[in-house]
Chains A and B, each alone.
Chain A
Amino acid sequence: MSAVDTLMPDMLLKGFDDPVDAGGRAFRALLDAMANPGTPFSITCPAEHPAQLSDAAAAVLLTVSDYATPVWLADDIASTDVQSYIRFHSAAPLTDDPAAAVFAVVAQGFEPLMATRFNTGTEDYPDRSTTVIVECAGFTGGTPVQLAGPGIEGTTRFAPHGVPLGFWEEMQMNNAGFPLGIDVILTAPGHVCAIPRSTLIEVN
């Protein structure tokens, strides 16, 4: 329920209804997703979110980003709405440099991910890498791939659609660089699914 009749552009939007409880639940969903690569999980979403950002991507950003985590936004997403939304609700600094970002958001579409432009961590601290939120249209109906590795019993099939062009090839390259690399959180309306760097990918 909103007191405003119509949401206008440039209007500051609501975040989680109950930031502590909802943030905790969304974080739990992210933990589950990271522990079970290739399996979609529903995530608690904010009451309102900017049009350029899916509700799930907004939920991830509000849950994990804070003043100490620079966020990089793809050009298609970096609208004033999204910027003020992130600044107001999470206080995260926005950066123009993908390699400096702790979290990054890539818009749905066919732009290549260009995984190597992000921070892949260092040999000493591989955890200091960028976690990339990749928006996609849905978790079914795309080109199926077979996933294996930590968190997956045997193998699992996964077919998200609307992923960036050459996404799986880039993710294979990313996995080849283990322990360095980026971790990816795919977001579709209301849901998240993780592809960490440890996941082996077989494109059929």
Chain B
Amino acid sequence: MPITTGDAAATPARSLRQRWISACARTDPDQLHILADVLGIDGTAFDVLRPAENGLVMVRGRAGGTGQLFNAGEMTVTRCSVRGRSGHVGHGYVAGRDKTHAELAARLDAHFQAQPDDTTLPIVAELEQQIGERAHARQQKSAPTRVEFFTMVRGEDE
């Protein structure tokens, strides 16, 4: 499996739904609140099927992307599932312990499923761009602190 980079839009095989679920999970909750308000998403329009709950998932990876599967460690995940008026079920899985974030993400998932894709696409693209920009800014900030490790060649028997 290739290592996934921060840019969600880069992988073409992902469905639009996968993209918005990912974007909602990685967007700041405060921003999601604003987005939900703009889209007119009202909490009372949803039934909570699975109240937000915290849990752990095992993150697994392969060394170099091709090596043996190993457990990298556990991470905290919060999930929530809601049902919209149209009967669409929205799922939110977010990193961390923010229950309102998971519920917002679930509501947005249910909302987007009930909307035509052409309406949703620009919103998702915008979210992805913001995520990309934030990731870029973070990389810029941390780049100067990078330390290169190398081994000094020592003389033999001197």
Q: Is the CB of A4 within 8 A of B49?
A: no
Q: Is the CB of B47 within 8 A of A15?
A: no
Contact for A3 among B51, B81, B83, B89, CB less than 8 A:
B83
Q: Is the CB of A4 within 8 A of B87?
A: yes
- Bitwise, A3-35 to B at CB < 8 A (1) or not (0) is 111001001111100110000000000000000
Contact for A12 among B44, B45, B49, B51, CB less than 8 A:
B49
Q: List A135-175 residues whose CB lies under 8 Å from chain B.
A: none
Q: Is the CB of A3 within 8 A of B49?
A: no
Cα distance A71–B50 in the bound complex, in angstroms: 21
Instruction: Return B111 CB to nearest CB of chain A, in Å.
Output: 12
Query: DSSP class of B's interface residues: helix, strand, loop or mixed?
Result: strand
Q: Is the CB of B85 within 8 A of A88?
A: no
Cα distance A19–B55 in the bound complex, in angstroms: 15
Check: A2 CB closer than 8 A to any chain B CB: yes
Cα distance A18–B44 in the bound complex, in angstroms: 17
Q: Is the CB of B49 within 8 A of A88?
A: yes
Cα distance A19–B51 in the bound complex, in angstroms: 8
Instruction: Return A14 CB to nearest CB of chain B, in Å.
Output: 6
- Bitwise, B20-60 to A at CB < 8 A (1) or not (0) is 00000000000000000000000011111111000000000
Check: B84 CB closer than 8 A to any chain A CB: yes
Instruction: Return B91 CB to nearest CB of chain A, in Å.
Output: 10
Q: Is the CB of A2 within 8 A of B51?
A: no
- Chain A residue numbers with a CB within 8 Å of B47 are 2-4, 14
Q: Is the CB of A11 within 8 A of B51?
A: no
Cα distance A5–B87 in the bound complex, in angstroms: 10
Q: Is the CB of B83 within 8 A of A11?
A: yes
Cα distance A112–B81 in the bound complex, in angstroms: 39
- Chain A residue numbers with a CB within 8 Å of B45 are 3
Cα distance A19–B53 in the bound complex, in angstroms: 10
Cα distance A48–B44 in the bound complex, in angstroms: 18
Instruction: Return B85 CB to nearest CB of chain A, in Å.
Output: 6
A-B contact pairs, 5 of them (CB 8 A): A2-B47, A4-B47, A14-B49, A19-B51, A88-B49
Would you list the 10 A-B pairs with minimal beta carbon distance, nearest first? A11-B87, A12-B89, A3-B47, A3-B45, A14-B49, A3-B46, A2-B47, A8-B87, A3-B85, A14-B47
Excluding A8-B87, A14-B49, A15-B49, 17 further A-B contacts by CB distance (< 8 Å) are A3-B44, A3-B47, A3-B84, A3-B85, A4-B47, A4-B83, A4-B85, A4-B87, A11-B83, A12-B81, A12-B83, A13-B49, A14-B47, A14-B83, A19-B51, A88-B50, A88-B81
